[in-house]
Structure 1
Amino acid sequence: MIVYGGDWNPEQWPEETWAEDVTLMREAGVNRVSVGIFSWSFLEPEEGRFDFGMLDKVMDLLAENGVQACLATPTAAPPPWFGHTYPEALPVDADGRRMSHGSRQGFCPSSPIYRERALRVAEQVALRYRDHPALAIWHIHNEYGCHNVRCYCDASAAAFRVWLRERYGTLDALNDAWGTAFWSQRYSAWEQILPPRATPTFTNPGQQLDYRRFCSDAVLDLYRAERDLLARLTPGVPATTNLMAGMHWEMDYWTYAPEMDPVSSDHYLIGEDPHIHLAFSADFARSLNRGRPWLLMEHSTSAVNWQGHNPAKRPGELLRNSVQHLARGADAIMFFQWRASRAGAEKWHSGMVPHAGTDTKIWREVKALGALLKDLAEVEGSTVTADAAILLDYASIWAEDHPAQPTTHRDPVEIIRQWYGALWKAGVTCDVAHPEGDLSRYRLVVVPALYLISDAGAANVERFVAAGGTVLVAPYSGIVDEHDRVRLGGYPGAFRDLLGVTVEEFFPLAPGEPVTVAGGGTGTVWSELAHATTAKVLDTYAGGEPAWTRNAWGDGTAHYLTTLPDGDLLGRVVAEVCADAGLATTNHPGVELVRRAHPDGRSYLFAINHTEAAAVVPATGVALPGGRPVDGELTVPAGEFRVVRLLAVS
C-alpha cells in the first residue's frame, strides 16, 4: 500500500464536519492522516489537566472508517498557558530580545521546563492511544527547528558550555580550535564562554560554527527523548519526524536520519526550476534514508501562504509533483493539509479540500491521485539506484555562512542546487552523500560547495578516485578544516594533491562582471589564480590561466573548475565528466526519467515531461495503470507523466 493522505486538523472545525471529512477521505482513497500535531491547547487546556474527548472521537472515527492515524505528539506548539507561566522558557534572539507566545515553536530547545512539559504531554498521549486500532505510526513534534533552532538565552549558554566540555575536554583545546589568539579572545575559564550573541563586529568563526552544531544537537536531543519515551510505551510502533530536506539548513540531518525509521520529509515548491528543486529534495530524503523508501509527510495541493508570491499550481501539476516524489523513492504521498483552514496564519495555504469545496480542480486531482496510487501499489518497497552523488555537509554550509568571506555573493546552497540541476538536465540520477560516507557504489562524485572538510572526508574522496571513480570539484572547496581553520600551503587545501592544482590567490568577480572561458561560456562570482602541477589544463581564461583541469589519480580522474560556470559551460563540463565516469546522458532535455526496482528484478520507469511538447522515450514493458503494452517507444504528452513496468532494461 502506498500511503496517501495529509494533516487532518478537526479541532479547527465544528464536530458536524468530521463525518463528512472521513466520507470524503474514503472517496479520495485516503488511507492515512496525521492528527494531533497542533492540539496541545485542546489536550491540556490548563497545566496538568488533560482532556482527550476531542481526540478520542477523532481516533475512533478513523478506526471505524479504515483510515490509519499518523498520531502526533503535539509538542511543536506549546499553548498560551506555557509561555504565560514560564516566560523564561521562551526563546531569546542574538540581540537579547525574548520572544512572546503567539505563533508556534515558542520555546527554547535547551529549556528544562519545556522538555519536562513536552515529555509529560507526549506520555499522556501515548498511554491513552497505545492500543488504539487506528494508531499506525508516531509523528513526533513537527518540523523541528523550523523557527527556533537558535536560542541565545542563559539556559542555552549553560548547555553550550556543557557541550563544549564534552567536545574539547580542555580550554587549551578549545582555544586552539577557535583560534582565540586572534583579537585577544583567549578564554581562561569555561564560564566566560557565551553563545555568539550580538557583538560590535564579526563573531569568532569557530565559535559561530560550533554554536550551529550545538543547536542542531540540542534539538536532536529533544527528538530522541520523545522517541525513546514512545518506544518504551509503544514497542513495535514506528516513529518519525518530518524533516525538510533540501529546504531547511539549520540542522544537520545526517545526524538525524540514523535516529529515524523511517525517514520522512516535507517539500514545497520554491524558486526557479521548481521541478529540479523538488527532485533534489526527494533525492536528498531518499539518501538520508540510506536509499530505502521514505515518506513524503507534507507537500501542497496548490499555493502556499508563506512566500512573497504564492502562485497556484496549474492543472495537472498536483499529480505531476506527487509522481515525481514517488519516482524518487517516496512510499507515502501526503499533504498539508486535508481541509484548507478558515482562519489562522495559514488560511491561504491550499488543502486537499479547498475553500471552494469539491467541485474544484484541486478535489478532482486529489481523487485522481488517490486512484492512481492504488493502481501503482506494486511499486511500494522498490528502490532507486543512483550512479552519481553530490557531497553535502551542513558544517561546511554553516562555516561559509560567516560574513567575513572573500565575497558574500557565494551561496553554497544555491551552488549545490545549480550543480545538481546540471546533472538533472543531463538525465543523471543522483544521491546526496556525506563527505565521510560510503562512496564505493558511485561512478561519479560531485563536490559543488565543500569549503570545509575534515581530513577523514578528504581521504575518503581520494580513496574513491584512486579506486577508479571520477570526481568534479568546484572552486573554494577543501579550504578549511573542521574548525574553520585555513589549510596552509596553497589552495585548494585538502584537495590540492588530488586535483594536481595549486591556487595562490582568489579573485572574486563583481556582479555583472563575468570572466570568459576560452572554450566557450563564462564564469561568474569567482575566479582563481591557479597553476597546474600534475593536472592537464582543459580550458583557460583569456590570459591563459587554468579554468578547468583534469588530473589522473590512481585508477580514476579528478576534474577542477576555478570559476563558477554559467549554464552552458557547466553543461559542457558535466557532459565530459559523465563520459569520463562512463555515465550515459540524456537525449531528452526536460523529460525526467527515473527507475525504481525490487530485489526480485521487477522494475519501473517513471517518465515525467516538464516541457511543452510531447516526448518519445525508449521503454519496453506494460503501462501502469491499465497494462497497455509498450514496445520500444513510449510517448509522454506535454506536461504529463507515464509509468511503465519494464520487461527489459531500455
Structure 2
Amino acid sequence: MKESTGKLLHGGDYNPEQWLDHPKILEKDTERFKEAGINTVSLGIFSWAFLEPEEGVYRFDWMEKIINHLYENGISVILATPSGARPRWLAEKYPEVLRVNSRRERELFGRRHNHCLTSPVYREKVYQIDYQLSRRFGRHPAVRMWHISNEYGGECHCPLCQEAFRGWIRKRYQTTERLNSRWCTAFWSHVYTDFSQVESPSPLGEDSIQALDLDWKRFVTEQTVDFMRQEICAVRDGGSDLPVTTNLMYDFEGLDYARMAPELDVISWDNYPTWHKADDWTIALDACMQHDLMRSLKRQPFLLIESCPGATNWQSVSHLPAPGIHKAAGLMAVAHGSDSVMYFQLRQSRGSEEKFHGAVIDHYGGNDTRMFREVCDTGETLEKLGELAGTETRARAAVVYDTENKWAIKGSKGPRNKNMYYKETVFKSYRALREQGVDVDVINETQDLTPYRFVAAPMVYLFREGFERKLREYVEQGGTLFATYWSGVVDENDRCYLGGTPHGLMDVFGLRAEEIDGLYDGETNGIVPADGTTSGAAGGRYSCAHLCELVKPTTAETLMVYENHFYGGMPALLKNRYGKGTVYYLCADAEQRLYDSFYPEILREAGVRPLLEDMRIPKGLSVTSRENETYRYLILQNFSGEEQNVLCPAGEKILGGEGNRISPLETWVFRQKK
C-alpha cells in the first residue's frame, strides 16, 4: 500500500451466492458496477455454506465463474476467508464450536461470529477452507488481496477457553504468589492457591478483580490474533503471497487493534456515521478521528472497506443521509489517508437480517435512484484523484487514545461509575487540533512519539510498561505535551502507584495530584485566569464538569484556577518547563472552548504550523494533507452547512470549482510541488 497504484479502489461487499438462481440479475449487476465506476468487490465473506455445503465437499465452480466474469469486465476481487459465519452442518456435527457466554450458557446456532476461537475442530475446519480457497484462487489475476474473516469480535467462556486462559495466565505470572500480588487478591480474601482456580470474569462468579478483567480482555485479543494468524498461514500455505487485511470496527472495545495491526499488510475498517444526529461537523470530526486512528496503526494508507450508500438498518434509527453526504463522507476517508471508498452492500439482500440496509443497487434495481447517481458521482471523482493512491499523511501532532487504558478506566470503580468521559475528553483535543487545520495522528501508548512536535495525552489513567519513560524523554528532548487529570494512576494490573501521581512524572509535570472530585450530573465549576498569568489565552471563564483534580504545584506555573467549591483558587491549568520541552496540565474536564482558546498558542510554541497559514479557518471547514516525494496535496471539505470564503492556497486545483467560495459538502484538492 505504500507504493502508488495510480487508482483509488471503489466498490464493496458483493454476495452473488444470494442470487445464483437469478443469472440475469448477476449479469445486470456487472453492468451497474461498470456504470457506477466500481473497480473492486469484496467476495465470499459469508459464502461458506455454498463453498463447502457438506463436510469436505468443496464447490468452487460458481465462485470461479463469478471471478472470471468480474475480471473480464475490469473488476478486481478482494477475496474473503469465510470464517465469520460457519455453515449449519458444522455446528450440528461439532457442538464444541458454539460459543459459551459469560453466564456459562452454550449458545445455539444462529447469527454470526458466535464461534469458539479456541476450538481445535473449528480451527482445523477454517484452515482447510482457507487453504483450499488459496490453492484455487490465490494466483488468479483478478484477486488482489485477502479479506481475512469479517469483523472479528466476541468472546467464548467454554471449558476449552477456560483452560487456554489458565495456560496464558500461568505463562504470564509463573507462580500464584506473583499472580496474587499483581491482582491484589488479598482484598476481600480472594487469594488463589492454584492456577486451576482461575476462571474468566462472570456475573455469576468473579467480577470484582479489575486486573482479572484486564487480563481476560488481553487474552481474548491474543486468542483472536492467534486465530487470525492461523488463517493467514492457511492462505500462505495454499500458495498465495497477496496482501492480507481484515475489517476493523468503529471505536470497538472488544479487541486491542494495536495487537492485530502487525499481522496485517493493510488496515481496513467499516465506517457508519450517524449523520444528522448532531450537527454534521461534529459527526464528521468523530469519523475523522477514527480514520486517523486506523491510518496511525501502521502509519500508512488504509482502506475504507465498508460504508453505507444510504441508510443502515441496524442502528437504533436509520436516518437517510442528505444529498451530497455520501460523496463527502467517502472523500473524507480519502482526505484522511484511505486508498478506497467501499460499501456494504453492492446489491441489497432480498430477505433476512439486512434486507433494508442501504446498497448501491436496491430492490428496485434501476440506475435512476438518488443513491445510485451519488455512487456514480463518487466513482467519477475517485477516478480523477487516482494520483493520491499510496500517498501518506505526515502529521506533526498526535493524540493518545489507548484501548487498554479505555478498558481500565471503564472498570476503575470510581470516582464516577456512570461515565468517565474518556473518549469525549480525547475528542476535545482532537477537535481543537483539527479546527486549527493541523493533521493529527491518533496513537496508542506503545507507539513512538518522536515524529511529533505536539502530543496530547488526556486521561492516561493506566501507564503501560515504559510509557512514563517515553513521555519523560519526549519532553526532555523538546516535545510539547498536553496532559490532564487522572493520569499515571495505575499500572498494567490496575494497581495504584505508590509515592504520588502522575507516576514517575511529578518532576516533569511540576506538580503532584492530591485528590479528585467526581461531580454529579448537571453540576459544574468554573475555571478562571490566575493572578499574574503569563498566558495570553487565559482570558475569560470556562465551565468544567464531571471530574476536577486537585494538585499541588512544585515548579509548574499556574495559568488558571478553579472558581468555586472549597478548592476555588486552586490550580486548574498549569505549565511546566522541563529539559528542552514544555508540559501543559489540565486538572478538570473543561468545555471545548478552553481547548479552542489555548491550542493555537500551544501549537505556535511547539512549532506546529497549520496547513492554511494565511487565513483563519472557519468552523466546519476540514483541512488535511497527503504527500509523496514530489507533491503535497491539500484537501479542503466544507461541513459547515454554509458557503465559505477560502483564501486558496498555492498550487493547482485538481478538484473543485472556480473562484474562492466553497459550497456545503464540496471538496477541493490542491496539488503543490514540493
With the shorter chain as reference, the TM-score category is over 0.9
Could you tell me how far apart the structure 2 residues matched to 1:243 and 1:547 are? 38
User: Would you say the 8 A contact 1:202–1:404 is kept in 2?
Assistant: no
1:596 Cα offset (Å): 1.0
Distance in structure 1 (CA, Å) of the matches to 2:647 and 2:95: 61
User: Quick one: which of 171, 174, 184 aligns to 2:189?
Assistant: 184
From 545, 553, 558, give the equivalent of 2:583. 558
* Structure-2 residue corresponding to 1:567: 592
Q: Is the 8 A contact 2:131 2:237 kept in 1?
A: no
What corresponds to 2:486 in structure 1? 476
Deviation at 1:202, TM superposition (A): 4.2
Structure 2 SS opposite 1:6: strand
The answer on 1:237 being equivalent to 2:255 is no
Q: Which residue of 2 aligns with 1:414?
A: 424
> Residue 605 in 1 paired to residue 630 in 2?
no
Matched, 1:374 2:380: no
**In 2: Cα distance, 1:510 partner to 1:444 partner:** 33
Structure 1 residue 180 displacement after superposition: 1.4
* Higher deviation after alignment, 21-30 or 576-585: 576-585
TM-score when normalising by structure 2:
0.92
* AA partner of residue 259 (structure 1): E
How many angstroms does 1:195 deviate by?
0.6
The residue that corresponds to 2:534 in the other structure is none
| Correspondence for 1:7 | 13
Question: Deviations 1:246-265 (Å, cap 9, x if unpaired)?
Answer: 42121111111111112222
Check whether the contact 1:596–1:605 (CA below 8 A) recurs between aligned residues: yes
- Look up the SS of the partner of 2:490 in the other structure: coil
Q: In the alignment, what sits opposite 2:651?
A: 621
Residue pair 2:420, 2:546 contacting (<8 A) in 1 also: yes
Deviations 1:82-138 (A, max 9, x none): 222222221122112222222111201222221111111111211221232221111
Partner Cα separation in structure 1 for residue 505 and residue 519 of structure 2: 23
Helix, strand or coil: the match of 1:207? helix
2:53 aligned partner, one-letter code: P
Q: CA deviation at 1:497?
A: 2.4
Alignment partner of 1:386 out of 384, 395, 403: 395
Equivalent-residue separation in structure 2 for 1:352 and 1:289 (angstroms): 30
Question: Map of 1:205-216 to 2, 5 A cutoff?
Answer: 205-216=210-221
Q: Which moved more, 1:46-55 or 1:504-513?
A: 46-55
Q: Distance in 1 between matches of 2:122 and 2:357?
A: 29
The answer to whether the 8 A contact 1:451-1:478 is kept is yes
- Aligned partners of 1:481 and 1:487 also within 8 Å: yes
1:455–1:494 contact (8 Å) kept in structure 2: no
Matched residues, number: 638
Render the CA deviation track for 1:390-447: whole Å, top value 9, x for unaligned: 1122111111121622112213233223332222223221101222321111111001
Query: Is the counterpart of residue 500 in structure 1 residue 513 in structure 2?
Result: no
SS at structure 2 position matched to 1:400: helix
| Deviation, structure 1 residue 647 | 4.5
1:238 CA displacement: 1.3
Secondary structure of the residue aligned to 1:4 is strand
Residue 645 of structure 1 is matched in structure 2 by 671
Residue of structure 1 equivalent to 2:557? 536
Q: For 1:211-252, what per-residue CA distance to the aligned partner results, in whole angstroms no more than 9, with x for missing partners?
A: 0000011011111001122123234311111112x4212111
Q: 1:34 to 1:200 in 2, by over 3 A?
A: closer
Match of 1:459 in 2: 469
Query: Given the alignment, which residue of 583, 602, 605 partners 1:580?
Result: 605
Q: Distance in 2 between matches of 1:493 and 1:177?
A: 17
Q: Aligned residue for 2:537? A: none
C-alpha separation between the residues in 1 aligned to 2:464 and 2:263? 23
The separation in 2 between residues aligned to 1:172 and 1:15, in whole angstroms, is 66
Taking structure 1 as reference, are residues 286 and 517 closer, same or farther at Cα in structure 2, changes over 3 Å only?
same
Asked if 1 retains the 8 angstrom alpha-carbon contact of 2:207 and 2:213, the reply is: no
The answer to whether the Cα contact below 8 Å between 2:138 and 2:240 also exists between their aligned partners in 1 is no
SS at the partner of 2:351? coil
For 1:107 and 1:36, the matched residues in 2 are separated by: 18
Q: What is the CA distance between 1:618 and its match in structure 2?
A: 3.1
- What does residue 84 of structure 2 align with? 76
In the alignment, structure 1 residue 548 sits paired with structure 2 residue 552: no
1:491, distance to aligned residue in structure 2 (A): 2.8
Q: Residue 493 of structure 1 aligns to a residue in which SS?
A: coil
Q: Is the 8 A contact 1:152 1:197 kept in 2?
A: no
State which of 330, 354, 361 in structure 2 corresponds to 1:322.
330
Amino acid at match of 1:581: A
Quote the Cα distance in structure 2 between the aligned partners of 1:625 and 1:574: 31
Aligned to 1:262, the other structure's residue is in SS state coil
**Does 2:620 match 1:590?**
yes
The equivalent residue for 1:43 is 51
- Aligned residue in 2 for 1:511: 521
Correspondence for 1:264 among 268, 285, 290: 268
- Alpha-carbon separation, structure 1, partners of 2:285 and 2:219: 32
Instruction: Give the distance between the partners of 1:596 and 1:9, measured in 2 at CA.
Output: 33
SS of equivalent to 1:507: strand
Matched, 1:431 2:441: yes
State how far apart, in whole Å, the 1-side matches of 2:218 and 2:545 are.
Answer: 31
**Which structure 2 residue ranges, 5 or more long, are not aligned?**
1-6, 530-540, 611-615
Give CA deviations for 1:461-501 in whole Å, capped at 9, x if unaligned. Answer: 11111111111112111110111110122333343222111
Within the alignment, does 1:527 sit opposite 2:548 as a pair? yes
State whether residues 468 and 503 of structure 2, in contact with CA within 8 Å, keep that contact through their aligned partners in structure 1. Answer: no
Q: Structure 1: any 5+ residue segments left out of the alignment?
A: none
Give distance in 2, aligned partners of 1:62 and 1:512.
57
Q: Between the two structures, name the one with larger relative contact order (CA 8 Å, sep ≥ 6).
A: 2
The RMSD of aligned alpha carbons is: 1.8
Out of 307, 316, 320, which is 1:308 matched to?
Answer: 316
Code of the aligned partner of 2:389: E
Report percent identity of matched pairs.
35
Residues 625, 589 of structure 1: alpha-carbon distance in 2 compared, 3 angstrom cutoff: closer
- Give secondary structure in 2 for the equivalent of 1:141: coil
Tell me if the contact between 1:247 and 1:267 (Cα under 8 Å) persists in the aligned partners.
no
Q: Could you say which residue in structure 2 is the equivalent of 1:248?
A: 252
Aligned-residue offset at 1:455: 4.3
Displacement of 1:614: 1.9
For residue 489 of structure 1, the aligned residue among 478, 484, 499 is 499
Shift of 1:200: 6.0
Compare 591-600 and 205-214 and name the one that shifted more: 591-600
Q: Structure 1 stretch 639-648 or stretch 105-114: which is displaced more?
A: 639-648
> What amino acid does structure 2 have at the position aligned with 1:66?
G
* Aligned counterparts of 2:46 and 2:394: Cα–Cα separation in 1: 37
Determine if contact 1:9/1:35 at 8 Å carries over to the other structure: yes
Q: Distance in 2 between matches of 1:623 and 1:234?
A: 45
In structure 2, distance between residues paired with 1:266 and 1:495? 38
For 1:61, the equivalent position in structure 2 comes to 69
The one-letter amino acid of 1:502's match is R
Evaluate the alpha carbon distance shift between residue 55 and residue 575 of structure 1 in structure 2; reply closer, same or farther with a 3 A threshold: same
Inter-partner Cα distance in structure 2 for 1:199 and 1:251: 23
Written as runs of structure 1 = structure 2, the 5 A alignment for 1:84-233 is 84-145=92-153, 148=154, 150-199=155-204, 202-233=207-238
State which drifts further: 394-403 or 444-453: 394-403
CA distance in 1, matches of 2:33, 2:617: 41
Moved more, 436-445 or 68-77: 436-445
